[in-house]
């Protein structure tokens, strides 16, 4: 009791501080009461619900708990923190939580000291003034930080609007996690720790030889030679086959027509570290990173040869920008030149089996995939004529989602394998392509939905020395109306 009035000891309140960004610009500075443990829950009353305009993930629930003095983020499904999928994550300063186009950055824990007032009336007025000052401080802080951010953007000239996004191939759309998360219950095999080694990463790294464009490869015998258009195709389309073949002791290699320089970088939904810069990658800079990603993925898959042809990769943002196969092949140097180059490589590696995409057919694929399929088929035909009896089999990839477009043809199926070991390896390879949503996001979803690969048998010798059927444990699937093979 003081001067006839009661005084109260006001306990300092503890807050968690977050910075909310929208499209890379600071939207608000948020101080969350430690007692408010639910960050986001569309079905309930949660702290962030009113701030995330347009974000409408009805299945997501984010909570905070304190364990052993550290704050942990808990989610009922995988969310990306610093570009990696998590369900449980100990929060560290500047951790970036991805929520659609929003970014929630953890700034730490702090205590707000509130001095007690002796006069109750003054106490109420003081609180009002304090709230006003707090609001003014937040506005000024946001304005200042926004101004600094704007200066930084104007200096670097890197914004989303400066350059329209394009992608390397299949998805035909820029990466948008918020649109996709409504359809995915969970991403399988979510990587819990980026420091965790992938299968075979250390054991076989020294076995992979990378040949630059125009570099003549050293003569060697390969059991299987794969051919494709872009970095990440090896994991998306051939991952199970490559994993199974390498684990069976087969020597495998791949020819990749382009380096993916016109693709869409998954930034900011990818890691930012010594390997990945904090900016959108484009052109030759993006290609250089994707070559290294492909090298890591092929190491995981157990390949021995990665031969880059370094051809021009055209942007593919929509169906309208597709080029005719003839136009594309002409831009790549012409049909005869491409065929002769592939035949020369086949003669150097002398593969028993050759695998490529399918050429133009009723199944709609990326136009560069179709061009690679057509050139590969013509090159295989010429190679067989020049070297009869050398090739045991020629397979063409069938899109697992378009298998109905291939009636009356025999095809081979490769599944995930016992204990899903091939699926695990393919997953690890897909995760190496962190700049590519087609692989490390959509590819993971597709792997969960379709844990198998199909290959159309275009050619198989009558008495193969090392036949495709033997490599695949004699597993062959035929359509109901196809003749016996």
Q: What tens digit of pLDDT does each residue of 255-308 get?
A: 999 999 988 899 888 888 888 988 899 999 999 999 999 999 999 999 999 999
Q: Which residue has the higher pLDDT, 84 or 405?
A: 405
Per-residue pLDDT band for 45 (boundaries 50, 70, 90) equals confident
Q: Is the predicted pLDDT of residue 427 greater than 60, yes or no?
A: yes
- For residues 440 and 267, the answer to whether their CB atoms sit within 8 Å is no
Per-residue pLDDT band for 381 (boundaries 50, 70, 90) equals very high
Claim to verify: residue 271 and residue 382 sit in the same structural domain: yes
- Which of 17-31, 48-62, 169-183, 409-423 comes out lowest in average pLDDT? 169-183
Cα angle value 396/213/294 (rounded, 5°)? 60
Closest among 397, 230, 235 to 315, alpha carbons compared: 230
Number of domains in the chain: 2
Mean pLDDT across the stretch 422-448?
93
Claim to verify: residue 120 and residue 209 sit in the same structural domain: no
Q: Which residue has the higher pLDDT, 27 or 197?
A: 27
Query: pLDDT value at position 316?
Result: 64
Confirm whether 26 is domain-assigned: yes
Distance, CA of 428 to CA of 433 (rounded, Å): 10
Query: pLDDT value at position 57?
Result: 82
User: Omega of the bond prior to 268 within 30 degrees of 0, cis?
Assistant: yes
Query: pLDDT value at position 11?
Result: 57
Claim to verify: residue 297 and residue 429 sit in the same structural domain: yes
Q: Is the predicted pLDDT of residue 309 greater than 50, yes or no?
A: yes
Pairing of strands 209-211, 477-478: unpaired
Query: pLDDT value at position 56?
Result: 80
**Residue 384, C-beta contacts closer than 8 angstroms, at least 6 positions apart:** 390, 391, 459
Distance, CA of 424 to CA of 241 (rounded, Å): 13
Per-residue pLDDT band for 166 (boundaries 50, 70, 90) equals very low
Confirm whether 172 is domain-assigned: no
Cα angle value 286/289/290 (rounded, 5°)? 85
The token duo for 476 is 């062959």
Claim to verify: residue 280 and residue 389 sit in the same structural domain: yes
Average pLDDT value over all residues in the chain: 76
End residue of a domain, out of 126, 156, 186: 156
Confirm whether 57 is domain-assigned: yes
- Which of 118-122, 167-171, 367-371, 453-457 comes out lowest in average pLDDT? 167-171
Mean pLDDT across the stretch 165-190?
36
Confirm whether 170 is domain-assigned: no
The pLDDT tens digits of the residues spanning 198-240 come to 344 444 445 899 999 989 999 999 999 999 999 999 999 999 9
Q: What percent of the chain has pLDDT over 70?
A: 69
Query: pLDDT value at position 344?
Result: 97
Claim to verify: residue 142 and residue 190 sit in the same structural domain: no
Query: pLDDT value at position 364?
Result: 66
End residue of a domain, out of 156, 190, 207: 156
Per-residue pLDDT band for 79 (boundaries 50, 70, 90) equals confident
pLDDT winner (highest mean) among 46-50, 152-156, 322-326: 46-50
- Which of 60-69, 182-191, 287-296 comes out lowest in average pLDDT? 182-191
Output the domain CATH number for residue 401.
3.40.50.10320
Query: pLDDT value at position 26?
Result: 86
The pLDDT tens digits of the residues spanning 393-420 come to 999 999 888 888 888 888 888 988 888 8
Distance, CA of 480 to CA of 319 (rounded, Å): 33
Closest among 72, 66, 28 to 47, alpha carbons compared: 28
Convert 138-166 to b/e letters by CB count within 10 Å (16 or more is b).
Answer: eeeebeeeeeeeeeeeeeeebeeeeeeeb
The pLDDT tens digits of the residues spanning 67-77 come to 777 888 888 88
Per-residue pLDDT band for 177 (boundaries 50, 70, 90) equals very low
The pLDDT tens digits of the residues spanning 97-154 come to 988 888 899 988 766 654 444 344 444 444 444 444 444 554 454 444 444 434 433 3
Distance, CA of 451 to CA of 431 (rounded, Å): 16
Claim to verify: residue 224 and residue 145 sit in the same structural domain: no
The shares of helix, strand and coil residues in the chain, as percent rounded to the nearest 5, are 35, 25, 45
Output the domain CATH number for residue 144.
2.60.200.20
Claim to verify: residue 124 and residue 184 sit in the same structural domain: no
Claim to verify: residue 129 and residue 198 sit in the same structural domain: no
Confirm whether 149 is domain-assigned: yes
Claim to verify: residue 149 and residue 189 sit in the same structural domain: no
- For residues 359 and 370, the answer to whether their CB atoms sit within 8 Å is yes
- For residues 261 and 163, the answer to whether their CB atoms sit within 8 Å is no
Query: pLDDT value at position 232?
Result: 95
Q: What is the CA radius of gyration of the chain?
A: 28
Confirm whether 164 is domain-assigned: no
- Which of 130-134, 209-213, 248-252, 438-442 comes out lowest in average pLDDT? 130-134
Distance, CA of 241 to CA of 231 (rounded, Å): 17
3-state secondary structure of 227: strand
Query: pLDDT value at position 322?
Result: 60
Structural domain including 79 reads: 13-156
Claim to verify: residue 31 and residue 113 sit in the same structural domain: yes
Claim to verify: residue 34 and residue 96 sit in the same structural domain: yes
Query: pLDDT value at position 186?
Result: 35
Per-residue pLDDT band for 12 (boundaries 50, 70, 90) equals low
Claim to verify: residue 200 and residue 116 sit in the same structural domain: no
End residue of a domain, out of 127, 156, 185: 156
Distance, CA of 232 to CA of 439 (rounded, Å): 6
Confirm whether 485 is domain-assigned: no
Confirm whether 2 is domain-assigned: no
Residue 22 to residues 100, 458, 470, Cα–Cα distance (Å): 9, 51, 54
């Amino acid at each position: 009791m003081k001067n006839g009035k009661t005084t109260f000891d006001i306990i300092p309140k503890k807050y968690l501080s977050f910075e909310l960004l929208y499209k890379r610009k600071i939207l608000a500075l948020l101080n969350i009461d430690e007692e408010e443990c639910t960050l986001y829950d569309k079905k309930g009353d949660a702290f962030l619900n009113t701030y995330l305009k347009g974000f409408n993930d009805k299945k997501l629930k984010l909570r905070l708990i304190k364990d052993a003095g550290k704050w942990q983020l808990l989610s009922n499904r995988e969310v990306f923190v610093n570009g990696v999928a998590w369900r449980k994550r100990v929060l560290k300063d500047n951790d970036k939580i991805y929520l659609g186009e929003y970014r929630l950055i953890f700034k730490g824990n702090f205590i707000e000291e509130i001095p007690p007032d002796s006069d109750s009336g003054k106490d109420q007025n003081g609180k009002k003034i304090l709230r006003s000052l707090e609001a003014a401080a937040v506005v000024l802080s946001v304005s200042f930080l926004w101004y600094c951010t704007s200066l930084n953007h104007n200096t670097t000239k890197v914004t989303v609007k400066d350059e329209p996004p394009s992608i390397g191939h299949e998805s035909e759309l820029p990466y948008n996690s918020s649109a996709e998360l409504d359809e995915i219950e969970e991403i399988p095999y979510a990587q819990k720790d980026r420091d965790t080694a992938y299968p075979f990463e250390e054991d076989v790294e020294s076995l992979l030889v990378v040949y630059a464009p125009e570099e003549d490869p050293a003569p060697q015998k390969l059991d299987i030679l794969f051919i494709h258009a872009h970095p990440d195709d090896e994991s998306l389309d051939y991952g199970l086959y490559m994993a199974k073949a390498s684990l069976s002791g087969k020597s495998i290699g791949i020819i990749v027509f382009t380096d993916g320089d016109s693709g869409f970088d998954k930034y900011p939904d990818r890691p930012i570290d010594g390997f990945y810069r904090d900016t959108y990658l484009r052109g030759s800079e993006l290609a250089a990173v994707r070559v290294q990603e492909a090298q890591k993925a092929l190491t995981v898959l157990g390949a021995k040869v990665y031969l880059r042809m370094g051809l021009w990769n055209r942007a593919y943002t929509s169906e309208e920008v597709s080029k005719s196969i003839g136009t594309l092949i002409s831009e790549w140097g012409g049909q005869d030149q491409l065929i002769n180059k592939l035949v020369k490589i086949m003669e150097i590696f002398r593969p028993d089996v050759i695998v490529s995409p399918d050429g133009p057919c009723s199944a709609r694929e990326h136009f560069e995939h179709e061009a690679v399929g057509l050139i590969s088929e013509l090159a295989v035909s010429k190679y067989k004529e020049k070297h009869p009896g050398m090739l045991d089999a020629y397979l063409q990839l069938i899109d697992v989602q378009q298998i109905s477009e291939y009636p009356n043809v025999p095809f081979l199926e490769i599944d995930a394998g016992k204990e899903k070991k091939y699926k695990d390896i393919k997953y690890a390879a897909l995760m190496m392509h962190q700049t590519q949503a087609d692989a490390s996001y959509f590819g993971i979803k597709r792997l969960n939905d379709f844990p198998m690969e199909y290959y159309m048998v275009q050619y198989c010798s009558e008495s193969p020395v090392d036949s495709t059927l033997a490599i695949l444990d004699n597993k062959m699937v035929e359509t109901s109306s196809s003749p016996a093979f």
